[in-house]
Structure 1
C-alpha cells in the first residue's frame, strides 16, 4: 500500500521538509494538527469559535480532496489553550458533523505554535464506508 500526499488549493501547505497536512493510505486519511491561518500562514480567526470553524473547514477541504466527506471523519483530537472555552469549539463542531459524532479527544495545552493560536485540531477519516451511523 502506498502513501499519497493530499493537497487542496484551499489549504496552504507547510514549507518543504517540515510535515504534510494530509496523507492517505488505502481508505484512511490522516489530517495533521491544523490551526487557523491565512494563505500566508499567519494566525487568523479571532477567538475559539472562529478559529475552530476555520480549522474544520480546512479539514473538510482536505478530506474532500482525498475523495471523502466530513461523514467519513471518525476521530478528531482537539488541543486548546483555554479549555474553559470548549463550548465554543463544540458549537463550531456541530456545524460540520451530525448524527454520531466522531470519537474525540480534548486536551488543554499551555501553548500552541504562536500565542494567537488558541485551537489545533487533527483528524482521521475512513473513506468509502458509508459514513457514520445516525
Structure 2
C-alpha cells in the first residue's frame, strides 16, 4: 500500500499544522488550492490581474510537481476558482504558457470570494508521475 508523502519546495511557502500544499501517494500527486500569496505569507502578487496571479500559481505548481518527481505535462486535472468569470480569458492566456500537447481536464468555477479580497484566482491540481503527456 502506498504511503502519503508530503512534498515541499523552497519556492512555495508551507503552512505547518494547517494543510499540506502537496502530497504524493504512489504515483498520484495532489496539490491544494494554490494562490498568488508570496512566501512572506501576507503579500499577494499580481494584485488586480488574474493573468499575473495565474502565472504565479502555475510557477508554484511547476515547482511542487518537480519536487515530487513530475512535471506540468503530467497534470491530469485541475479546478480553477475565479472571483470574476470575466477573467477567464486571462487565466487561459496564462495557462497556455505552461501547458502544451494534451491539456489537462479542467473545471472553471466562479466563487463569491477567496481567502482575501486581493486573491482573484485559486487552482487545485492532480497529476500522475507515471503518465506521459
The Cα of 1:27 is off from its aligned counterpart by: 0.2
Stretches of structure 2 lacking an aligned partner (at least 5 in a row): none
Distance 2:102 2:74 in 1: 11
User: Where do residues 28-39 of structure 1 align in structure 2 (5 Å cutoff)?
Assistant: 28-39=28-39
Structure 1: 4+ residue segments shifted above 3 A: none
Q: Give yes or no for contact 1:37–1:45 (8 Å, CA) kept in 2.
A: no
SS at match of 1:100: coil
SS at match of 2:78: strand
Aligned CA-pair RMSD:
0.7
2:50 matched residue in structure 1: 48
Q: Give yes or no for contact 1:78–1:121 (8 Å, CA) kept in 2.
A: yes
Distance 1:27 1:45 in 2: 33
Stretches of structure 1 lacking an aligned partner (at least 5 in a row): none
Question: Given the alignment of the two structures, is residue 21 of structure 1 paired with residue 21 of structure 2, yes or no?
Answer: yes
Distance 1:41 1:80 in 2: 20
The Cα of 1:128 is off from its aligned counterpart by: 2.2
SS at match of 1:77: strand
Superposition TM-score, scaled by structure 2 size: 0.95
User: Where do residues 1-134 of structure 1 align in structure 2 (5 Å cutoff)?
Assistant: 1-14=2-15, 16-42=16-42, 43-46=44-47, 47-129=49-131, 131-132=132-133
